[in-house]
Chains A and B, each alone.
Chain A
Amino acid sequence: METPARNLSGSTCPRLPRGVRLTHNEAQGGWVLLAPERVFKTDAITVEILKRCTGDASLDAIVDDLASTFTAPRERIYADVVNLLASLADKKLLELG
């Protein structure tokens, strides 16, 4: 089955499409991802990844940045980020440019 997530590579520059927004709301206890008819509570790691999905940074650059910011092994971060991005793209919450 061909899905958008298949197009994911190190040079992909992911971005939130129009209609998907990361928002902070005090009464809801933090960061949430807003999409058509849907609201996703996000954990701290997801927020750090999504904040970097600007359309300018490549997947490789995002992983490098996270690995140095959080001094964590690059391979593990790479796997986590790819899993998250692929699952968001399948739900139409992310564009893989």
Chain B
Amino acid sequence: MTTNGASLPAPLGLLAELTHRCPLGCPYCSNPLALDKRDDELDAATWSRVFREAAALGVLQVHLSGGEPAARRDLPEIVKAAREAGLYNNLITSAVGLTSQNLAVLADAGLDHVQISIQDSEEISADHIAGYKGAFGRKRAIAQEVVKLGLPLTINMVVHRANIGRVESMVELALSLGASRVEIAHVQYYGWALKNRAALMPTREQVDQAVHKVATLRTRHHGRIVIDAVVPDYYARFPKPCVGGWGRRSLNVTPAGRVLPCHAAEVIPGLEFWNVREHSLADIWRAAPAFLAFRGTNWMQEPCKSCARRDQDFGGCRCQAFLLTGDARAADPVCHLSPQHALVEQLAAAREDAAYDYRRA
């Protein structure tokens, strides 16, 4: 065991990647470069069991994600199973593939909340980023349907060098669509985004302006819309507390049933993941080697080990530590205390206006 002797925490959230299929090609997609195939996807009955096991473990919310979850014809059955398990279910969708009809069916099945991604506040740019002509118009139409059905709506806007100057009009767009929440999510550099990093990376000046703008907009729209931001960590002084600490608050099930501590965890070599086809979720949470690998603080080395913030940011992100330094036990180099922090500054400066390498199967 590599835990620090603390009692096993109860997870709060489950990210259910129902499929890796998606009509869009966003160059910052959080799916891995090697996508799970349709034939390997878990069936609805297995998801239903996973949801019941999750609720018994303490999970309160399930995020039905992908790929594009609407690519699954049995999505209503899956939503119903999540609701019957007592979970709060959140559909994370591109909206492409949803219609007003199947949205109504999902609402009846017990959907609690819908999150729609929109790639920019300007149509031409949005469709270019998504790699899908007409996506922007369809997203707007479906967003309005969500609100018409009385479901709460979040608009997720991923920001990067091409659109970061439009944070204000993004929030205006979310307001005009009737969203109660908007996420301004700076790209996190894993998977496809890492591949496209030079084309996506904003300048420090752009990031500072965007952060300032978000603070202003929060005050201006207080009580009208909740504005959440995912921080741009290459320009941060301290790392993000990735997934709230490894194996501490959440788990991720891939389309084929592998259970990961975070969606990017498979990039770390040598980790052993267990599959829901062979193990119960409770056994996986408690004993799967991948969950034990970085749970707690015993795995840490300096400067994390003796750091006053070690129980606050948990050494940052293990995947990022591995991807940038080659050592998954190193401090996340985003942290200014990391001996390899200079590398992050160099990488952030390596910007190049290249064509996007779109996500594809």
Contact = CB atoms under 8 A, between A and B. Distances in A.
A34 B12 CA distance: 11
A77 B129 CA distance: 53
A18 interface: yes
Interface string B12-28: 10000000000000000
B154 interface: yes
Interface stretch (A42-50, A51-59, A60-68, A89-97): A89-97
A78 B151 CA distance: 31
B223 A37 contact: no
Given A1-B222, A36-B115, A18 B12 contact: no
Nearest to A27: B58
A74 interface: no
A28 B222 CA distance: 30
A3 interface: yes
A18 B228 contact: no
A19 B152 contact: yes
Contact of A18 (B57, B86, B150): B150
Given A34-B60, A34-B88, A36-B115, A17 B154 contact: no
B181 A27 contact: no
Interface in A9-42: 17-21, 23, 25, 27-28, 32, 34, 36-37, 39
B113 interface: yes
B10 A37 contact: no
How many interface residues does chain B have, given as a range?
20 to 34
A36 B180 contact: yes
A90 B60 contact: no
A21 B88 CA distance: 8
A34 B58 contact: no
Contact of A4 (B57, B86, B223): B223
B61 interface: yes
Contacts of B12: 28, 39
Contact of B58 (A28, A37, A92): A28
A1 B10 CA distance: 40
Contact of B112 (A19, A32, A89, A91): A19
Interface centre among A1, A25, A27, A37 (most CB of B within 10 A): A37
A27 B10 contact: yes
Interface in B214-244: 222-226, 228
B65 interface: no
B90 A23 contact: no
Contact of B60 (A2, A39, A92): A39
Given A18-B152, A28-B60, A37-B154, A92 B181 contact: yes
A82 interface: no
B154 A18 contact: no
B56 A23 contact: no
* Most chain A beta-carbon neighbours within 10 Å: one of B56, B223, B226: B223
A90 B112 CA distance: 20
Contact of B223 (A18, A20, A23, A90): A90
Given A19-B112, A28-B12, A92-B181, 11 more contacts: A18-B112, A18-B152, A19-B151, A19-B180, A28-B58, A34-B88, A36-B115, A36-B154, A36-B180, A39-B12, A92-B152
**In the A-B complex, the 4 residue pairs with the closest CB atoms:** A3-B223, A27-B58, A19-B152, A34-B88
Interface of A: 1-5, 17-21, 23, 25, 27-28, 32, 34, 36-37, 39, 89-92
15 contacts: A3-B224, A5-B223, A17-B152, A19-B113, A19-B152, A20-B152, A23-B60, A23-B86, A23-B88, A27-B58, A36-B115, A37-B61, A37-B154, A90-B223, A92-B152
